[in-house]
Structure 1
Amino acid sequence: MSEAATHSSTVAVACPELLASLDPLLQEWLPRQRWFAGKGRPVTGFSLVAATELLPSTSQLGLLHLLVRAHQPDAPTQGALPHPGDCYQLLIGVREALPPRLAPALIGHLEEGPLAGRTVYEALYDARPADVLLEAIRTRARIGDLRFECALRQEMRGGLVPRLVTSEQSNSSIIYGDTFILKLLRRIVPGNNPDLELPLVLAREGCARVPAPAGWLLADLASDHDSYVLGVLQPFVQGATDGWELALRELAKGEDFGDVSGFGDEARALGRATAEVHTALARALPTVTLGHTQMGLLADGMTERLEAAAQAVPVLRPHAPGLRTAFEALADLAAEGHTWTAQRIHGDLHLGQCLRAPSGEWSLIDFEGEPSKPLAERRMPQPPARDIAGMLRSFDYAAHSHHPVVAGWADACRAAYCTGYAEVSGADPRTDPVLLRAYETDKAVYEVLYEARHRPDWLPVPMAAIRRLAASP
């Protein structure tokens, strides 16, 4: 790494001809990636935001770090300004030819430009480029626009064998020797990303429910006053099982779920873990009071999302009047003078964002929030009920993804989770049913729109909740 740290972008990397030669390959490859956010709209071109050479591209194995903006027609607008296009982080390996083990990583063969005659591929499949990233963090390297940081007092030995996590993710992750996991954000924006911000805050608070960052990767660009958070390195919880996997495993056993047996005990422990994280965040960061005006805007936003989803998904339309009453009830309660406390929260909490260690302890991960939301919105204080509603919807998803549906399982988990939450926080979420119903309804509407667009076979799962919520008093 010392050699790489002495230089930044070479002429070959920075010149426009490189991006021009990559353009047709990226237009074909990028939309096929799970983490590409602009599906359904063609990519018309790319512009280069930053380019850094981590391994010389003229050597036997080159490694390019690119930040590129993908331009697409009919992109959503921000006010009166056209959307500039999403910015993506790419790590591109360069070889004369790919060995068979790297065949799934192929991007394409360059016919022109400064790297003509060479093959480019997704570098994270390759051990050597993955090693470069960890070594840069370990040595706190600065390479071009990239800044690698290692947490103080963090011991990090070299030689940890890397492997790419190949399950579907909205980002990319590399596990190093069952010791660390590096999450590389794919769609990036300038500013303080909560995926790094909140775990650092919780580490300072001594909250053991969230793995403390061991290192991170930033881009400091002359064109922006803010840094881009590109990746976060955290301890890897060896032998851990995510909550979704564990829930499906319990459902497959076919036990009696009428009480808190089976997964109910885990749900209660998970409720306690959630409350510990919320309590620590409220202690460390400012909280605000939401009154009539703020809650009215919140309810209006939920209503607007419902109307847009009903236009896009016809099967939702008959239920829209009943669903709308959840948001009207919230606005009415605010108009009567009721107030709520808002704080920093996880922002996208569900069973897949929770890890259970072999010891039985639960951890919460992935504090990025909903990547489709603007960063400023993801960093706003919100009622904790939003996280809780996300988890309650996740129990319902698990129950309805099992066939036949196990009667009473989701209800038992809901009760156990809320009980566990109340044991730590002192406030049972069920004592504020209007707020909880509004957030559950908003989440279910989002799920319907998502499934209709991406996984039509799953649409019956959120629709079962839609029918229940539309009929709720």
Structure 2
Amino acid sequence: MLDSSVSPLSSRFSWLDLIRDTATIRLLETTVLPSYLNACRWFAGKARPQDRFRIAFVHEIPFRPDDAAPDTAFLLIVEVRYAEGEAESYLLPVSFVATDRAKTTEIPDKGVLTAAEFDQKTGWVIDAIYDDRFRQAIFFNIVHQQTLNQQAGQIVCHRGLGLADGEASGLIVSRVLPVDSSNSALVYGFPGEKETYFLKLYRKLFQETNPEVELVSFLTENSHFSHIPAYAGSLIWRQKTIPDITLGMMQRMVDNQKDSWSQTGDYLNDFLYAVPHRLFTIREEVFERVELLGRRTAQLHLALFSPESGDPAFRPESFTDEYREFISRRFESLLERRYAMLIDNYTRLDPLAQRLAWVFMEAKEMIDEFVEDFRNRPLESLRIRIHGDYHLGQVLATDDDFIMIDFEGEPESSIVERKIKHSPLKDVAGMIRSYHYAVSAKLFGSVETEKIAPDHLQRVSERWFNLIRDTYMNAYLDTIGSPHPLFKNNNELNFLLLVYLLEKAVYELGYEISYRPAWVKIPLKGIMDVIREIEKIRMADPNRNSDVPRLQMGLLQSKKE
């Protein structure tokens, strides 16, 4: 429903002349965009004091030439400046819907920027994703690989192998998916048939090609890995002096039941219901699914391992001094922040979390020594492009297999950092930590187990997790094969896995302290598992000369024990 109470714009120009209508552009910047963007789920700057909204660039996307009333949408590149910190750029496509047309157009209130009048024609300026003419134009341009010249560069539309010739012609129907996220999702299909294509429109823009487009297009067009939604095309803003900026990517739709986090939660129900009766129950189907995911993860990494690639972005690299220093410094900074958070929030933690926190803090010297070992230890394993934010929520479960999604990388990392090559064990560590979260959250957060002592729940969850972790790892390593250039030997593999597991668990710790103190024990237990393994490595090395004290495991014992 359109809200006619929104303050209108009034212009003597037609909508088609928006680019030269400086007065209307100014009104949009000062009176419309600040309130509109702050109401959008995808705008990330709500919590920052804002100085200015500026329409930095305006691109034209003409509607289909066979449209009865020739019209156009505009891609606004909105620059948001803040009182502190760097400015951000956002993509906002807009179109004008006249009053007579609006009566037959389904536009939600959240899609309306303002009521407006252009050249005596009344209507509304809306987010163009809610205008079928815009959605059709984007699809048409990708299908036909159009290049649209603009005042600032070009909008270049790429077509991918996932967009089949026969399916790219004829009538297309489209809609906006009703999900609130950091991007917008459009879907396309054919009348009377299943929806076939999914277009992700990126809202926050970066001065780089989006890593997701690079990875998905590479896997689709340079490998036989089929467990992703195939790359069907993309929308790029190209300028002469800077890298291409990704505006959107289209992929094939996939049938799925749910993500693997939800499916794993379902599988854990049998286990959960058995725990109060002191029974240990895991269905064989659970092991089969975990084993399959281990194989699919390895196949993903084998597809991304491309030593003969002519593209430097996908050529394997060694563990350079520069990379090690980057990881070490980032991790050391992360550690210091987490130690400070634990000290400041110690009294908010439950007794089990307090004991785990003490052992973690007492192990600081051992962890520092481990980081220094990573800095200097000879390593012959290789680094490649990886998923980068790999966990159960990024894997869709189909009837009998898995589909991997969301290759954008870690949300809190810069776009450049998301493209850094890592050992594929970083992805493996992310999935292992996700399984640990799945069982811990189930046991510690369910009414069925609320009367069971936390220490007992910790032991029970650890047994489940160890079995699942080993099943996943064995399937992964069997599929990768040995020897493989990605992993020099088992010693290096185990060492690097500990590096990424520790980094991941310490990263998780900050979120739990800030938002879910009752869950702090989950990443702390993950940290504890790693530092126990670190100590085993230290004790097994006859040449190690270190004054670092051993772990104070007695601190983990409760008073009752």
Does 2:315 correspond to 1:315? no
Residue number in structure 1 paired with 2:95: 93
Q: Distance in 1 between matches of 2:423 and 2:295?
A: 17
Please give the secondary structure, in 1, of the residue aligned with 2:436.
Answer: helix
> Which among 393, 411, 425 is matched to residue 466 of structure 2?
411
Summarize the Cα distance change of 1:95–1:15 in structure 2 as closer, same or farther, 3 Å threshold: same
Residue number in structure 2 paired with 1:269: 292
Residue number in structure 1 paired with 2:518: 460
CA contact (8 A) 1:105 1:125 kept: no
Structure 1 stretch displaced more, 323-332 or 266-275: 323-332
Residue 240 of structure 1, CA deviation = 4.7
Summarize the Cα distance change of 1:247–1:95 in structure 2 as closer, same or farther, 3 Å threshold: same
Q: Distance in 1 between matches of 2:481 and 2:145?
A: 43
CA contact (8 A) 1:188 1:228 kept: yes
**Which deviations, in whole Å up to 9, do the C-alpha atoms of 1:31-67 show, x marking residues without a partner?**
34333333420332223332123357xx798632112
Q: Distance in 1 between matches of 2:500 and 2:36?
A: 37
Residue number in structure 1 paired with 2:74: 64
Summarize the Cα distance change of 1:122–1:253 in structure 2 as closer, same or farther, 3 Å threshold: farther
Q: Distance in 1 between matches of 2:389 and 2:407?
A: 7
Residue 252 of structure 1, CA deviation = 3.8
Residue number in structure 1 paired with 2:28: 22
CA contact (8 A) 1:93 1:123 kept: yes
Does 2:364 correspond to 1:346? no
Aligned residue pair count: 450
Summarize the Cα distance change of 1:329–1:230 in structure 2 as closer, same or farther, 3 Å threshold: same
Q: Distance in 1 between matches of 2:38 and 2:495?
A: 40
- Structure of greater Rg: 2
The aligned amino acid for 1:308 is: R
The aligned amino acid for 1:412 is: L
Please give the secondary structure, in 1, of the residue aligned with 2:92.
Answer: strand
> Which among 355, 364, 367 is matched to residue 404 of structure 2?
364
Q: What is the 5 A alignment of 1:96-115? A: 96=98, 101-110=106-115
Please give the secondary structure, in 2, of the residue aligned with 1:381.
Answer: coil
Q: Distance in 2 between matches of 1:383 and 1:55?
A: 45
RMSD: 3.4
Residue 435 of structure 1, CA deviation = 2.8
Residue number in structure 2 paired with 1:420: 475
> What is the TM-score normalised by the length of structure 1?
0.83
Summarize the Cα distance change of 1:166–1:452 in structure 2 as closer, same or farther, 3 Å threshold: farther
CA contact (8 A) 1:48 1:69 kept: yes
Summarize the Cα distance change of 1:333–1:452 in structure 2 as closer, same or farther, 3 Å threshold: closer
Does 2:454 correspond to 1:444? no
Residue number in structure 2 paired with 1:50: 57
Please give the secondary structure, in 2, of the residue aligned with 1:211.
Answer: coil
The aligned amino acid for 1:162 is: S
Residue 120 of structure 1, CA deviation = 2.8
The aligned amino acid for 1:300 is: R
CA contact (8 A) 1:137 1:150 kept: yes
Q: Distance in 2 between matches of 1:448 and 1:29?
A: 34
Residue 274 of structure 1, CA deviation = 1.1
Residue 467 of structure 1, CA deviation = 4.3
Summarize the Cα distance change of 1:141–1:416 in structure 2 as closer, same or farther, 3 Å threshold: same
The aligned amino acid for 1:236 is: M
Structure 1 stretch displaced more, 416-425 or 134-143: 134-143
Residue 300 of structure 1, CA deviation = 2.3
Q: What is the 5 A alignment of 1:204-219? A: 204-219=222-237
Residue number in structure 2 paired with 1:3: none
Q: Which runs of 5+ in 1 are unaligned?
A: 1-8, 76-82
Q: Distance in 1 between matches of 2:213 and 2:269?
A: 36
Q: Distance in 1 between matches of 2:505 and 2:115?
A: 45
> Which among 154, 159, 164 is matched to residue 154 of structure 1?
164
The aligned amino acid for 2:327 is: L
CA contact (8 A) 1:260 1:416 kept: no
**Which deviations, in whole Å up to 9, do the C-alpha atoms of 1:211-269 show, x marking residues without a partner?**
331111111235x4321111111111124532223223323454777657343322221
Summarize the Cα distance change of 1:235–1:103 in structure 2 as closer, same or farther, 3 Å threshold: closer
The aligned amino acid for 1:150 is: R
Summarize the Cα distance change of 1:44–1:306 in structure 2 as closer, same or farther, 3 Å threshold: same
Q: Distance in 1 between matches of 2:319 and 2:207?
A: 28
> Which among 237, 240, 249 is matched to residue 266 of structure 2?
249
Residue number in structure 2 paired with 1:4: none
Summarize the Cα distance change of 1:252–1:95 in structure 2 as closer, same or farther, 3 Å threshold: farther
CA contact (8 A) 1:137 1:148 kept: yes
Q: What is the 5 A alignment of 1:372-383? A: 372-383=412-423
Q: Distance in 2 between matches of 1:104 and 1:452?
A: 37
Residue 174 of structure 1, CA deviation = 1.6
- How high is the sequence identity, in percent, across the aligned residues? 25
Residue 462 of structure 1, CA deviation = 5.0
Q: Distance in 2 between matches of 1:86 and 1:324?
A: 39
Q: Distance in 2 between matches of 1:137 and 1:32?
A: 30
CA contact (8 A) 2:383 2:424 kept: yes
Q: Distance in 1 between matches of 2:266 and 2:173?
A: 30
The aligned amino acid for 1:342 is: R
Residue number in structure 2 paired with 1:35: 42
Residue 93 of structure 1, CA deviation = 3.5
Please give the secondary structure, in 1, of the residue aligned with 2:108.
Answer: helix
Residue 389 of structure 1, CA deviation = 1.3
Residue number in structure 2 paired with 1:6: none
Q: Distance in 1 between matches of 2:316 and 2:235?
A: 29
Q: Distance in 1 between matches of 2:468 and 2:297?
A: 14
Q: Distance in 1 between matches of 2:513 and 2:20?
A: 41
Residue 105 of structure 1, CA deviation = 2.6
Q: Which runs of 5+ in 2 are unaligned?
A: 1-14, 64-68, 190-194, 275-279, 347-356, 450-459, 533-561
Does 2:141 correspond to 1:136? yes
Summarize the Cα distance change of 1:260–1:333 in structure 2 as closer, same or farther, 3 Å threshold: farther
Does 2:289 correspond to 1:280? no
Residue number in structure 1 paired with 2:542: none
Residue number in structure 1 paired with 2:430: 390
Q: What is the 5 A alignment of 1:162-241? A: 162-177=174-189, 178-203=195-220, 204-221=222-239, 224-241=241-258
